[in-house]
Structure 1
């Protein structure tokens, strides 16, 4: 999937859209995607001046966006419900992510269907693990958000 196809499937948009390419997608099972890290991303001005490092929470967000492409959502569910991140578990940031890195993100569904869905995530740069952990999502009614 390219950036245009991804934009049709996820709710996030630039500058918060973190997945730029999907190289493999097995619906309801797994996916592999790419995030190119650019020095022009606004958070680098403050994190950290002179030594830019991608915030761990944004690495988790990139994983979450790729997971959202894996979750099979029935058409009637899309109108009424939204899958949101429920839990970040055991995430380890082994090496820093810096401008110029290309994140190779792999996510594998470990549990779920229904309202709770879990994934194991691995983030690599040049084949080396930079982060890994687990994410859990739940389905909530859109009306609960005051819409």
Structure 2
């Protein structure tokens, strides 16, 4: 899915649509990517002269990638974050890097979906986290 296709399944728009593309590769797995070009809004003050992508932004990128797993279920619902657990930041993501994301659905309980996510640059683990979200029907 490109950015326009992603807009059909998640409510994010510029400047909060943070991934360049995402694909569902199996029933419970999706992959995505974002090339950090250096002019992104979240780099402006993080950190001047030494820009690195904030951890919370990396987690949001993983969450947006995971939405592809349940795209057909979210046609009439919106996914909302309900938790982030065990977030671990191993390497920095910088301008010029292509951040590659893999998300796996580990379980589903009613409207709640539980995901394991990891993000890498050049095969090197940068971040991992477990998170959940709820699908809330749109009004």
Give how far 1:7 is off.
2.6
Q: Quick one: distance in 2 between partners of 1:27 and 1:12?
A: 24
SS of residue matched to 1:65: helix
Computing the radius of gyration from Cα coordinates, the structure with the larger value is 1
CA RMSD between the two structures: 1.8
Give structure 2 stretches of 5+ with no counterpart: none
Report the equivalent of 1:32.
31
Q: Quick one: distance in 2 between partners of 1:26 and 1:16?
A: 24
When the two structures are superposed, what TM-score results if normalisation uses the length of structure 2?
A: 0.89
Aligned residue pair count: 138
Give structure 1 stretches of 5+ with no counterpart: none
Confirm whether residue 68 of structure 1 aligns to residue 67 of structure 2: yes
**Higher helix residue share:** 1
Q: Tell me: CA distance 1:7–1:130, structure 2 relative to 1, closer, same or farther (3 Å).
A: same
Confirm whether residue 57 of structure 1 aligns to residue 59 of structure 2: no
When the two structures are superposed, what TM-score results if normalisation uses the length of structure 1?
A: 0.85
SS of residue matched to 1:110: strand
Q: Quick one: distance in 2 between partners of 1:7 and 1:45?
A: 25
